[in-house]
Amino acid sequence: MITNYTNSIKYKKIGSIIKLFGWVNNFRNLGNIIFINLRDREGIIQVLFNKNNKILFNKANELRKEFCIQIIGVIHHRNKKNINYNIYNGNVEIYAIKLIILNRSKSLPLNINVKNNEKIRLKYRYLDLRSKYMIERIKVRSKINNFIHNFMNSNGFLNIDTPILNKETPEGARDFIVPSRINKGKFYALPQSPQLFKQLLMISGLDKYYQIAKCFRDEDLRFNRQPEFTQIDIESSFSCSFQIRKFIENMIKKLFWNIKKIKIKKFNVLSFYDAIKFYGSDKPDLRNPLKLIDINHLFHLDEIKKIYPEIIKNKNIRITAILVSKNNILNNNKINFYSKILLKYGLKKLFYIKFKNYNNDIIKIYNSCKYLSLDKTKKIIKFLNAKKNDLIFFCIDKKDIVTKSLCYLRNKLGKDLNIIDKNIIKPLWIINFPMFKLNKKKKISPMHHPFVNPINNKIEIKDLKNNYKNIISDSYDIVINGYEIGGGSVRINNFEIQKVIFNLIGISKKEIDNKFGFFLEALKFGTPPHSGIALGLDRLVMLLTNTENIRDVIPFPKTHNYNCLLSNTPNYINKILLKELNISIT
C-alpha cells in the first residue's frame, strides 16, 4: 500500500530516503544519465539514474512510457537553473538507489497528456482516468462526497440505505426492469429515486434522513443526462419549505467555499411564473443580464392584425422584447441568422429596432417591421428606456412560441455577446410551481411527482378535483448558473389528498392498490408533516470543476445514447439465463 505520494515530498527532509510507486510519464537517456518523470495520482517527480551504478542504470534503460514501477531514492535539491516551475515538485528530484519494474506497458491507444476524442476516451476509460484533468475531477467528487457526509452528520441527519430492487412506480420516466428468477413472471424495478422509502422513514420516526443514492431513469436521449446518476437525497420531518431551503443554502455556501473558496452571498428567489415571464425558462442563468420584457400593452388590436393577421384568432398572444445595450457586434447578417434559427421554434418573424443619434435633434431609427409607425416605435424605445446604439428585438406570436423562442435568443445572445460573467456563481430558487401540467397525451400529470403537497395544506379535496389548473404546489427547485441542481417539496401526509391526486392523474383503483397500497396504508398511522429535496451530485461536480459535460465527472459514464463503450453494454443476454427466467425475446 502506498504511504508516500509525490506531493508528500515537500514534508520530507532533503537527503532522506523515500519509496514511491507510479507510472513512467516520460523517459530521457542522455548517455551517462537517465531521467524519468514518475507520475502518481497526486503529481509528478523527476527521478535520476546515474551510470556509476551500471546494474541500476541498465535496468532503468528498459523503462518506457506507462511502465508501472517502484522507486527507492534520495531526495535532492535541483540546481537553480534546472528548477521546473511548471510542476509542483520542480525544485527537487530523486536520485534512484533501487528500481522495481512492477509491470510493463505497450504503447497507449491515446495520449493521456492531452484531451482526446471522447469516443476513444470512453472506450479506454481506465487509461483516460490516468490523465491529470480526470484525476482532479474524481478527487473533487470525492471531496464533495466527504463534505456532504460530514455536513449532514453534524446536523443530526442519519445516513440510511433504501432498496435498489423495488416495484414499478410512476415517477416521471420509464423504469429499468429486473426479472425475478425465484418469482417466475414477476419483475423488480430499479429506483428512479428513493422517494417512497424516504417518506416511509419519516413515518417511522427517523426524522432526519439523507443518502447519497444511485438512481436509474430510462429516459429519452437528452443532452447531459445519464441513465444512472447519483443524487444527494434529504428528508426531514416537522419542517416547512422555507426551512429546507435555508438549510440547503447553508450547505451550498459552505460546499463552494470548502471546495473552491468561492463566497456565495445571496440566493435569489423567483416564482415559476416570474421565471417564465422574465427569462422564458424555469432554470435561467442569472449571470446573463438580459430579460424578456412584455410590451403587449403598447399595441392595439388593429396594429397586431397588420403585423400578423392569423394570430388574432388565438387569444393567447404574447408581445415581448429583449433590450441589448450598446450593441456594436450584431449586424444584419447575424440578426437574420437568429431569425432563421427561431423558425425551428415556430416563430414566424423576429423584428428589431435600431436607432442612433446623429446630432442633438435628429434620431435615425431602423425598424424591420414595416407596419410599425414611427410614433409606435418611439413609444417602445421610451418604455424600454433604450439609449443610443441599443438594439431591441421583439416578436408577436402565440405565448408558448414567444417564450421558447426568446428563451433561446436570450441564451444565444448571452454567449455571442460575451456578457456572461463566468467567474461568479448565481444561485436561484424557483418556487410555487403549478401542481399539474398536461402531458404529451393531453392528460393531467404532476409537474414534479404525485407526492407533492398543495401550497395551502388546508385546501379542500373538491378544489383539487374542480380547480386543478390553478393549484400551486409547495415545491422548489435550486438552479445555479442555468443548471437545475435539485428539486424538492413539502410532501403529502394526508391519506385522502394522496388518493385524490392519484385519481386526478388517471391511476386506476386497481393500480393504486397494486403499486401504492402499502404507502397509502402507511399514511394512516400518524404521518408527520415532512419535506425534502434531492440534489444532483453529478451536476454539482460539473459546476465545481468548470466542465459542461456530465461525462467528465463520472468515472465510468455511458455515451449520449446510453452505451458503455468500455464494456460494450448493453449487450445480448445468455439464452440459458433467459430460459431460467422464463423470458422469451422475439
Q: pLDDT at position 234, please?
A: 98
Interatomic CA distance for residues 364 and 388, integer angstroms: 10
Are the C-beta atoms of residues 141 and 259 closer than 8 Å to each other?
Answer: no
Query: Which residues have CB under 8 Å from 541's CB, separation 6+?
Result: 137, 140, 141, 144, 553
Q: What is the DSSP secondary-structure string of 393-441?
A: EEEEEEHHHHHHHHHHHHHHHHHHTT---TT---EEEEE--BSEEE-TT
Q: DSSP alpha helices (H): ranges in 469-574?
A: 495-504, 509-522, 537-544
What are the two backbone dihedrals, phi and then psi, of residue 9, each rounded to the nearest 5 degrees? -65, -30
Q: pLDDT at position 241, please?
A: 95
For 146-168, the three-class secondary structure string (H helix, E strand, C coil) is HHHHHHHHHCCCEECCCCCCECC
Interatomic CA distance for residues 562 and 197, integer angstroms: 27
Interatomic CA distance for residues 281 and 402, integer angstroms: 12
pLDDT digits (tens, 9 = 90+) for 292-339: 999 999 988 777 877 777 766 667 889 999 999 877 778 888 889 999
Are the C-beta atoms of residues 401 and 345 closer than 8 Å to each other?
Answer: yes
What's the count of helices (H) and strands (E) in the chain, helices before strands? Answer: 16, 22
- CB half-sphere exposure, 10, CA atoms < 13 A: 9
Q: pLDDT at position 585, please?
A: 64
Pairing status of strand 351-357 against strand 68-77: unpaired
Interatomic CA distance for residues 287 and 74, integer angstroms: 51
Say whether domain 6-103 belongs to CATH 2.40.50.140: yes
Average pLDDT per 10 consecutive residues for the chain, totaling 586 residues: 88 92 96 95 95 95 97 93 85 95 96 92 97 96 98 98 88 83 88 95 98 92 86 97 97 97 95 97 96 92 78 78 85 89 92 71 68 85 88 91 96 94 94 88 85 77 72 95 96 92 87 90 96 97 94 94 92 76 68
3-state secondary structure of 385: coil
Could you tell me the CA-to-CA distances from 420 to 32, 541, 548 in Å, in that order? 55, 20, 15
Q: pLDDT at position 586, please?
A: 58
Tell me the fold of 288-416. Answer: Gyrase A; domain 2 (3.30.1360)
Q: pLDDT at position 86, please?
A: 83
Of the options 3.30.930.10, 3.40.50.300, 2.60.40.10, 2.40.37.10, the CATH number for the domain spanning 135-271+427-553: 3.30.930.10
Are the C-beta atoms of residues 351 and 336 closer than 8 Å to each other?
Answer: no
Q: What is the DSSP secondary-structure string of 88-148?
A: TTTTEEEEEEEEEEEE--PPPSS-TTSPPPHHHHHHTHHHHTTSHHHHHHHHHHHHHHHHH
Q: pLDDT at position 372, please?
A: 82
3-state secondary structure of 478: strand
Q: pLDDT at position 287, please?
A: 96
Interatomic CA distance for residues 306 and 24, integer angstroms: 73
Q: pLDDT at position 260, please?
A: 94
Please give the angle made by the CA atoms of 498, 503 and 509, to the nearest 5 degrees: 100
Q: pLDDT at position 314, please?
A: 66
Are the C-beta atoms of residues 189 and 178 closer than 8 Å to each other?
Answer: yes
Are the C-beta atoms of residues 461 and 504 closer than 8 Å to each other?
Answer: no
- CB half-sphere exposure, 384, CA atoms < 13 A: 30
Q: pLDDT at position 358, please?
A: 52
pLDDT digits (tens, 9 = 90+) for 185-200: 889 999 999 999 999 9
DSSP 346: T
Domains of the chain: which residue ranges? 6-103, 135-271+427-553, 288-416
- Write out the H or E segment, with its range, that includes residue 237: strand 228-237
